[in-house]
Amino acid sequence: MKLTKKSHACVRLVKDGRTLVLDPGAFTEEDATLGADALLVTHEHPDHFDEGRLRAAMEADAATEIWAPKSVAGKIAAAFPGRVHTVGHGDAFTAAGFDVQVHGELHAVIHPDLPRVTNVGYLIDGGRVFHPGDALTVPDQPVLTLLAPVQAPWNKIAEVIDYVREVKPRRVYDIHDALLTDLARPLYDTHLGNLGGADHGRLASGASTQV
């Protein structure tokens, strides 16, 4: 399949002429959902879930569907009967021809004083790609391509390195990187590349690769 990186945590996957888009949030380009057959959302935070953007995608194509946790699905399901699906840990479904398994339940801890929201990760086509959202969830099966959240208020690079080591993917690409300055990127690249134990790559927004 073809994987295209969009800004921050959003990626587009294309296979057999169909498009699956994950986490088109407020930091993502306006065209991120263009032509999407299916949309997956990991959690309710605005850098992953932009309600207006999802509504626009659903209105543009009557065949487009969304899969998301209840906290997200509940906000838009009434407007699109039968096209918004609530998912949780352990669920499996097919979206736009992609086989998807749901892993994880909670967002990583930002601070003990802040409540943790629901967060799910999506394992695509039997482990070919895993998008964990905002958590360091380890699926119970092998992962070929891990999308690693490299910079966030809830993590540090040592934790990301250990996460990559635990998942043991063949390759890892950065996501959740909109707040990472260009000056810092080479440092993150060096540490993940040297210490993660996987083939590390960073895609600029709009760049694509085959996975």
Give the pLDDT band (50/70/90) at residue 188: very high
Mean per-residue pLDDT, 30-48: 96
Q: For residues 88 and 69, what is the distance between their CA atoms, to the nearest angstrom?
A: 6
Q: How many percent of the chain have pLDDT more than 90? A: 100
Tokens 């986490």 belong to 23
Look at residues 32, 15, 11, 1 and name the one whose alpha carbon lies nearest to residue 148: 11
Mean pLDDT, range 54-83, rounded to an integer? 97
CA angle 22, 55, 114 (to 5 degrees): 60
Q: Is the pTM of this model over 0.85?
A: yes
Question: Which tokens hold the place of 150?
Answer: 């490299």
Distance (Å, rounded) from C-alpha 68 to C-alpha 74? 9
Q: What integer is the mean pLDDT of 11-39?
A: 96
| Domain definitions of the chain by residue range | 2-203
* Collapsed DSSP state (helix, strand, coil) of residue 81: coil
> What pairing do the DSSP bridges indicate for beta strands 171-175 and 145-149?
parallel
Could you tell me the fold of the domain covering 2-203? Metallo-beta-lactamase; Chain A (3.60.15)
- If you average pLDDT over every residue of the chain, what do you get? 97
Q: What is the pLDDT of residues 134-187, one digit of tens each?
A: 999 999 999 999 999 999 999 999 999 999 999 999 999 999 999 999 999 999
Find the helix or strand (DSSP H, E) in which 19 lies: strand 18-22
Cβ atoms 107, 134 nearer than 8 A: yes
